[in-house]
Amino acid sequence: MNHLYYISQGKTPEEHLTNIETAVRGGCRLVQLRLKEIPQDQILETAIAAKLICNGNDTCLIINDHPKIAHAINADGVHLGKTDSDIADARLLLGTTKIIGGTANTLEDCLELIKAGVDYIGLGPYKFTATKKNLSPVLGADGIQKIVSSLRDNGHKVPVYAIGGIVEEDVEVLFETGVYGLAVSGLLTNTSAERIGQLRQYVQEGYKATRSIENTQY
């Protein structure tokens, strides 16, 4: 069970790869390569290198925004933002065995993603974050809890990851909202593998302390 999801960060593709490698060495087993505003051939090259890092470490590699690149390198899946590729097209390309995640900011967003057949939802932003441009309205813990509760009350079991500006002090309060996991970037970037291992253990314990929900494949 992966309750900690690392979203790569760095000033260059090389820094993204270094940070992914450190996260993997720290025990993070769900990683997203998130490269913005660089040529697709450079994203492909970096994705190939990221796949090599994740191979042999039982780590799922998700590619942000680019289903064709995910398909080309046989990544474990793709994450699509609200303005990215169509989920149905991505599923047709990648097949039923790959993970497809989507970004949501409202209950309506979540329901649309569930209808489209996503495997998980990244719900946020929890707080302000400088990582993402054109930031959607901040939800806070109360906003996330209301959405997750509504989904569960209506029988929807898709895993929901809170995302956006999460720091260590937020772990307990976020798991109390009912989310399955935490998607983080700055918290694990430029951090030692040993410290990441400690944070991963803390997150796992935070999840277990609140409740136990359905198993998932990732």
pLDDT score at 82: 83
Tokens of 20: 């992914």
Name residue 123's beta-bridge partners.
104, 162
pLDDT at 132: 63
- Is residue 141 a part of any domain in this protein? yes
Return d(Cα 153, Cα 104) in angstroms, integer.
Answer: 18
% of the chain with per-residue pLDDT over 70 = 94
pLDDT at res. 214: 45
Residue 153, pLDDT > 60, answer: yes
Torsion-angle region of 65 (φ positive above 0: left; ψ -120 to 50: alpha; else: beta): left
Dump pLDDT digits (tens) for 184-211. Answer: 999 999 999 999 999 999 999 999 988 7
CATH of the domain at 113: 3.20.20.70
Residue 14 pLDDT class (50, 70, 90 cuts): very high
Rg (CA), the chain: 16
* Arithmetic mean of pLDDT, 107-133: 90
Q: Within a domain: residue 217?
A: no
Report yes or no on 115 lying in a domain: yes
Q: How many domains does the chain have?
A: 1
In angstroms, the CA 16 to CA 203 distance is 22
pLDDT tens digits for range 82-103: 877 799 999 999 999 999 999 9
In a domain, 216, yes or no: no
In this predicted structure, the answer to whether residue 217 has a pLDDT above a threshold of 70 is no
Question: Does the predicted TM-score (pTM) go above 0.85?
Answer: yes
Average pLDDT rounded to a whole number, residues 28-49: 97
Is it the case that residue 134 has pLDDT exceeding 70? Answer: no
Residue 116 lies in a domain: yes
| 13 domain residue, yes or no | yes
CA–CA dist 73, 86 (Å, integer): 20
Say if 136 falls within a structural domain: yes
Domain of 71 in residue numbering reads as 4-210
Residue 84 maps to a domain: yes
Alpha-carbon distance of 218 to 210, in angstroms, equals 20
